[in-house]
Structure 1
């Protein structure tokens, strides 16, 4: 990779948030740090982060190279991180956790580990809202139950918990409005007679006002296929294994836009190939990424046009 140095006067823009540690690399707006995030988080000052958005290793039956904990141990393992996340978040901040489900070993039944984790997290955090990431391109798995015995359907949804320290974290759904449907555009143009719907909802004349787009649902439909992207091409070119569990940039991007403003600080304590950092950089937010596996950080450099090491 060709690394273009930053201007001489440029410094790590978030160095004060991880005192005493050198960044693995940094850009104009953010920095990555190599190490155990349970230790790195302890260095971050209280009430200093606007948004933590992350996708930690899931409690899968089959072990992955990046390391994943058994479902029975998952809650205890993750609470060592979440206590620190709670501490570093600003009172107006949010914690967005993408966590997939898993199957019980040897059984066509689902583990409840992510719900056990949520119940424990809400002893401190508020559950602002639950989201569902729908990926229509997911492969049919587990093969034994879905494609061999044909007694289950493919699992295409993952949970995304939006948690906060207070009941009213910073949020503005006007930043994530979606294009109106053709039907809604017709209503705006032709008008709508105010009336009470059979459901009991009172639909007023304000329903036909053009607000610039429709409020998105809490089901986020996003594919996860970057097979033709520069990241994978560069990893192949330089003999690096790409991170095997990357989420699409649209996922952190939605919450970064929804829950932060330009200049706010976004942290991903399990940053992997640093999709979150790159997305935050594109959206003019400061960012921090922590990662335990050096190879993944080496590959993540290829997401940026320039870095400083």
Structure 2
């Protein structure tokens, strides 16, 4: 199996990856009709409805299950997404899509994954105020400063690792105590080159928790390569899928810059 590669193709069929060969998948799928990734086959942008968007990811999650080793983890970062009226207008107030919950429901109903954990990512304060009916009641809107990291597991016993690999992958006590918290607090990344990047801290923590040095970390929606960067920082390898060639180029540039530092 190849490693340290971003494939310029859809992740609906990841036939480059053998069955049960990956220990950890970290990803954040494209948002529904909110972020334009400039590709006709993009999940979300070309969907006819929100329901189609959610179901269009089912083949991806089934492929993730196929390639994961027994006891392997699938970690999905997703938000609650307020929709503008031009995109969705079903009632007087704005539509508020719980992408995390709807992806979870589909995964548990349509795959053999089990729920493992749910982490709330507290992104802190924001300057993007939702005015609603301000300064008067009754329609004040929350600031939407959290996202979710939903973790699923493939049933089975964990692989036995040699002592050296386990030692090299060991977490410090303070790290461990912080990472097992149900709420993670760190600021989002603001990168104009990619419409929806998550900060490297997010995959970094998941990689430390759920993989060993030398493992291959998979991201089926790798975007500008943040998961790949985190993998290399933690002495792991990566595989990714991305439709947009501009983002692939950006990801390679980030990796090259890190390796040259």
**TM-score grouping bracket, smaller chain normalisation:** 0.7 to 0.9
> What pairs with 1:108-187 in structure 2 (closer than 5 Å)?
108-123=94-109, 124-140=112-128, 143=130, 145=132, 151-166=140-155, 175=171, 177-178=173-174
Tell me, yes or no, if the aligned pair for 1:30 and 1:281 is still in contact at 8 Å.
Answer: no
Partner of 1:53: 26
Hey, what does 2:201 align to over in structure 1? 250
Q: How many Å apart are 1:169 and its aligned residue?
A: 5.6
Q: Is the 8 A contact 2:58 2:107 kept in 1?
A: yes
Q: C-alpha distance in 2, partners of 1:292/1:54?
A: 15
Unaligned runs of 5+ in 1: 1-15, 18-28, 180-211, 228-240
Matching residue of 1:38: 12
TM-score by length of 2: 0.78
The alpha carbon displacement at 1:71 in A equals 2.4
**Secondary structure of the residue that 1:297 maps to in structure 2?**
helix
CA displacement at 1:291 relative to structure 2:
0.7
Q: How does 1:274-289 map to 2 (within 5 A)?
A: 274-289=225-240
CA gap 1:158/1:274 in 2 versus in 1, 3 angstroms: same
Distance 1:286 1:265 in 2: 4
Q: Could you tell me which residue of structure 1 aligns to residue 73 of structure 2? A: 94
Looking at structure 1, the residues matched to 31 and 36 of structure 2 have their Cα atoms a distance apart, in angstroms, of: 9
Name the residue aligned to 1:223. Answer: 187
What CA distance in whole angstroms lies between the structure 1 residues aligned with 2:7 and 2:246? 13
State the number of aligned residues: 232
| Larger Cα-atom Rg | 1
Using structure 1 for the length normalisation, give the TM-score.
0.67
Residue deviations 1:68-108 (CA, integer Å, cap 9, x gap):
52522222111010010000000021100001112353433
Q: CA RMSD in A?
A: 2.9
Gaps of 5+ in 2: 160-165
